[in-house]
Amino acid sequence: MAKKSDLIPRVITAIIAIPVLASLIAFTPHWGFLLVVLVAAAISIWEFCGIVFAEEHPAGRIFSVVTGLAVMCAIYFDPFLEQELTLPSLAAASLLTFLFYLFFFREQSRVTHHIGASLTAILYGGVLFSFVALLGRDGGDAGWMWIIMALAIVWGSDTGAYFAGNALGKHKLYESVSPNKSIEGAVGGLLTTIAFAFAFDALFSYFFADIWPSLTALQILVLAIPANLLGQCGDLAESLFKRAHEVKDSGTIIYGHGGILDRIDALFFAAPWVYYFLVYGV
């Protein structure tokens, strides 16, 4: 949860960034949005490696970014719900990671740490984030709306948690990992997520009834609640990484928000649920 002093820069950033991002999602062709996702993923992997091991092995940081993007492309261009490219790409990434550090380790006593960190970066910033692009690919004409729905779920949670936590927060959610987060904030984030999901479903159903599959109340709850809980866990997971390495922010690229990873960490965990709900729940 952010401090109150962070509110003004967060609002300024949101006012500028949200319309730009919404325009990119709504009006960019699939291949163009894929490029946007790949850039965000590259920065995220770069930031994650920067937190965990970049000072020890700068070349490993570059390797992780390139390999993670290659796996993402293989997943994206795999036939719909098939595994002709995905499984071989994951196997190749695993083998290449071991081979890279076998021949290019800098400190033998730390090589297992670097291997584990690189594989985590590839899975975390590459594989999990690829589901955002898959929402656009497999959502048909409504693909951009599914992406916005996923963003609304995680950013609605962040907004609700911020205000509920500041107003009502008394009981720590997970103090050893993120001491500023409260149970009250988490509940507020969950309720805000549900409200946002209902609101965006109503909005899409009204303006795009011909392409948006209007969801029932039960479907919205099945979509929103697990996605919110996963997103909150994703936020905590990044807090765990940063606390383990005594880092405040993953980067400084976004005014008032830190790094890209600080802003989309919840999306990594929530996007797969939204994608599989799209595939099997609609």
Q: What is the pLDDT of residue 154?
A: 92
Residue whose C-alpha is closest to residue 273's, from 237, 234, 236, 216: 234
For residue 35, pLDDT beyond 80: yes
Q: What is the pLDDT of residue 26?
A: 82
Q: Where are the beta strands (DSSP E) in the chain?
A: 172-174, 178-182
Its pTM surpasses 0.85 = yes
For residue 2, pLDDT beyond 80: no
CA distance 168 to 146: 32
For residue 3, pLDDT beyond 70: no
For residue 13, pLDDT beyond 80: no
CA distances from 197 to 83, 106, 184, 268 (A): 31, 48, 20, 18
For residue 22, pLDDT beyond 60: yes
Q: What is the pLDDT of residue 55?
A: 85
Per residue in 170-210, pLDDT (tens digit) is 999 999 999 889 999 999 999 999 999 999 999 999 999 99
Confidence bin at 131 (pLDDT 50/70/90): very high
Q: What is the mean pLDDT of the chain?
A: 89
Q: What is the pLDDT of residue 1?
A: 44
Please state the length of the chain. Answer: 282
CA distance 112 to 99: 12
Per residue in 248-271, pLDDT (tens digit) is 877 666 555 567 888 888 999 999
Return the SS3 of 262.
helix
Per residue in 77-111, pLDDT (tens digit) is 987 656 788 899 999 999 999 999 999 988 898 99
CA distance 252 to 241: 17
Per residue in 215-248, pLDDT (tens digit) is 999 999 999 999 999 999 999 999 999 889 888 8
Residue of higher predicted confidence among 7 and 215: 215
pLDDT (mean) for 133-152: 94
Q: What is the pLDDT of residue 249?
A: 73
Per-residue DSSP letters for 3-44?
Answer: -GGGHHHHHHHHHHHHHHHHHHHHHS-HHHHHHHHHHHHHHH
